[in-house]
Amino acid sequence: MIGANTMLVLAGCALFGAVSGATGTFVLARRRALVSDVAGHAALPGVALGFLLGEVTGLGGRSPALLVLCATITALFAALCVAPLARLRRLGDDGATATMLAGSFGLGAALLSIVQSHASGAQGGLQTLLLGSAAAMRTSDVVVLTVLSLIVVATLTVLARGLAMVAFDEEHARVAGVPVRALDFALIVLLVACVVAGLQVAGVVLVVAFILTPAATARLFAGSLRVTALRAAMLGTATAVAGVLASRVLPTFPTGSAMTLAASLVFFTALVLHRKHKFAERIA
C-alpha cells in the first residue's frame, strides 16, 4: 500500500522531476550543462555555512530557510563565476568549470568536517545532502519545492522565446537587441533554483542527473525547444516516480540513486531505439 508519506515523497519528486527536466532543456541548449554540476557542488559549502550560521545566531543548525538561502548564494556565486573565469587568460569553459567545481566542493567538504566536529552537527544529518534523502522528505520540504517549482515554470514560460533565440544564435540575438546577458543571468538563477530545490531529493552530486538526463533524452527526438522541454518534464516526472517506487520495493536502495538510475536507463534505452530507428530509415 502507498502510505501518506510515500504520497508526499512521490508528489515532491514528480514535481521536481518535471521542473528540473524543463529547465535542463534550456541549460543544455545554451551549452551550460556542466554549470549545473558546479552549482550542485557549490551548494555544499552553502549548506555547511548555513548550519554554522544557524548555530552561531541561535536559530538552530537545521533552519531550512537559512540553509536554502546560504546554498543559493554559494551556488549562484560559483555558477556565475564560470563564464568570466573561462574568458580570463584563455582558461576555456572546461577548465573554468573544473576549477570552480573542485574548489567549491573542497570548501564544502572542509566546512562539513567543522560542522561534524560540533556535537549537534553530527546528528544534523547534513551528510545526506551529498546523495540526497528523498525518503526523509517532510511536508515543509514539499512546500518549498512546490513554491520554487511554480516560480521556475512561470519564469521559463515568459522567457522561453528569448532563451531559445540566445541559445540558437547568440550573435543574431545581440544584433536584434535581445537582452542576452540578462537572459543568461536568468537562466543561471533558474538553474540554481532547481539545484537548491533538488538538494533534499537528490543531493549535491546527483542533482545534475535530474536537470540534464531527461533533457538529453528529450533531445534525441525531433521537435522545437518548447516541445523538447515539455517532453523532458514528462520524462523527469516519470523517472522520479519510478525511482521512488523502486526504492519502496527495495528499501536499502536510496531514492536519489534509484531515480538517477531510472533516468539513465531511460536515456540509454531511448538512445538504442533511436539508433535502430535511424538505421531502419536509412536502409528503407
Report the residue from 225, 244, 258, 262 that binds another protein according to the rule CB under 8 A: 225
Q: Pick the binder of another protein from 148, 219, 238, 259 (CB under 8 A).
A: 219
Nearer to another protein, 164 or 208 (CB): 164
Q: Please pick, from the candidates 13, 15, 19, 29, the single residue that binds another protein as defined by CB under 8 A.
A: 29
Q: Cβ 176 to another protein, closest distance in Å?
A: 3
Nearer to another protein, 147 or 158 (CB): 158
Q: Report the candidate in 137, 158, 192 with the shortest Cα–Cα distance to residue 27.
A: 192
Interface stretch with another protein, choices 10-18, 52-60, 77-85, 220-228 (CB under 8 A): 220-228
- Least Å distance, CB 3 to another protein, is 40
Nearer to another protein, 64 or 162 (CB): 162
Question: What are 64's three cell numbers?
Answer: 531550512
Tell me whether residue 29 or residue 79 sits nearer to another protein (CB atom). Answer: 29
Q: Which of residues 140-199 bind another protein (CB under 8 A)?
A: 158-159, 161-162, 164-165, 167-169, 171-178
23 contact partners, CB below 8 Å, separation of at least 6: 152, 156, 190, 191, 193, 194, 211
> Rule CB under 8 A: is residue 224 a binding residue for another protein?
yes
CA distances from 240 to 74, 151, 244, 245 (A): 26, 20, 6, 9
129 in Cβ contact with 66 (< 8 Å): no
- Measure Cα distances from 56 to 118, 210, 231 in Å: 12, 34, 45
- Give the C-alpha separation, 115 to 273, whole Å: 47
Nearer to another protein, 98 or 159 (CB): 159
User: Should residue 222 be labelled a site residue for another protein when binding is judged by CB under 8 A?
Assistant: yes
Q: In whole angstroms, give the CA distance from residue 235 to residue 12.
A: 15
Q: Which of 208, 210, 215 is nearest to 29 (CA)?
A: 215
Q: How far is the CB of 223 from another protein (least distance, A)?
A: 6
Total Cβ atoms within 10 A of residue 282: 7
Cell numbers representing residue 45 in the block: 559549502
Which residues are near another protein by CB under 8 A?
A: 29, 31, 158-159, 161-162, 164-165, 167-169, 171-178, 219, 222-225, 227-228
